[in-house]
Amino acid sequence: MKKIFAVLLASMMAATALVGCGGSGDSSTASKTESNGNGASATSNDFGDEDNITLKVWAPDKAVSTFEKECEAFKALYPDKKIDITVVAQTEKDAATNLLNDASAAADVFGFASDQLNKLQTAGVIAQAAYADDISKRDTAEAVSAATIGGKIYAYPETGDNGYYLVYDKSVVSDEQAGRFEDVLEACKVGGKKFIMDAGDGFYACMFTFTGGLKTDGLEDDGITQKYTDYDEAEVVATLQAFSKLMHDYKGTFQSLKTDAISSGFAQKSCGAGIDGSWNTVADKEALGDNFGAAKLPTIDVNGEAKQIVSMLGYKFIGVNASSKFPRSAQILANYLTGEECQRERATELGWGPSNQTVNGEEVVTGSAVLTAIAEQGKFAVPQVSIASTFWDPNANLGNKLIADETDPSNADFFKQLLTDTIANVRDE
Tens digit of each residue's pLDDT (9 = 90 or more) over 341-370: 999 999 999 999 999 999 999 999 999 999
Q: In the predicted model, is pLDDT for residue 11 greater than 60?
A: no
pLDDT digits (tens, 9 = 90+) for 108-158: 999 999 999 998 999 999 999 999 999 999 999 999 999 999 999 999 999
Q: In the predicted model, is pLDDT for residue 19 greater than 80?
A: no
What separation, in Å, do the N-terminal and C-terminal C-alpha atoms of the chain show?
A: 10
Averaged confidence pLDDT in the chain? 91
Where in the chain are the domains?
2-161+314-375, 163-313+379-426
Asked if 217 contacts 229 with a C-beta cutoff of 8 angstroms, the reply is yes
* C-alpha dist (Å) from residue 188 to 21, 185, 246: 55, 5, 13
Angstrom distance (rounded) from CA 25 to CA 153: 8
3-13 mean pLDDT: 35
Q: Does domain 2-161+314-375 have CATH number 3.40.190.290?
A: no
Q: Specify the pTM.
A: 0.85
In 3D space, the residue among 130, 122, 123 whose CA is nearest the CA of residue 150 turns out to be: 122
pLDDT at res. 353: 95
Fold of 163-313+379-426: D-Maltodextrin-Binding Protein; domain 2 (3.40.190)
Q: In the predicted model, is pLDDT for residue 27 greater than 60?
A: no
Q: In the predicted model, is pLDDT for residue 38 greater than 80?
A: no
Least confident of 40-49, 98-107, 212-221: 40-49
Asked if 273 contacts 174 with a C-beta cutoff of 8 angstroms, the reply is no
Angstrom distance (rounded) from CA 211 to CA 213: 5
pLDDT at res. 37: 52
State which H helix or E strand residue 317 sits in.
strand 311-320
pLDDT interval class at 40 (50, 70, 90) = low
CB atoms near residue 206 (< 10 Å): 28
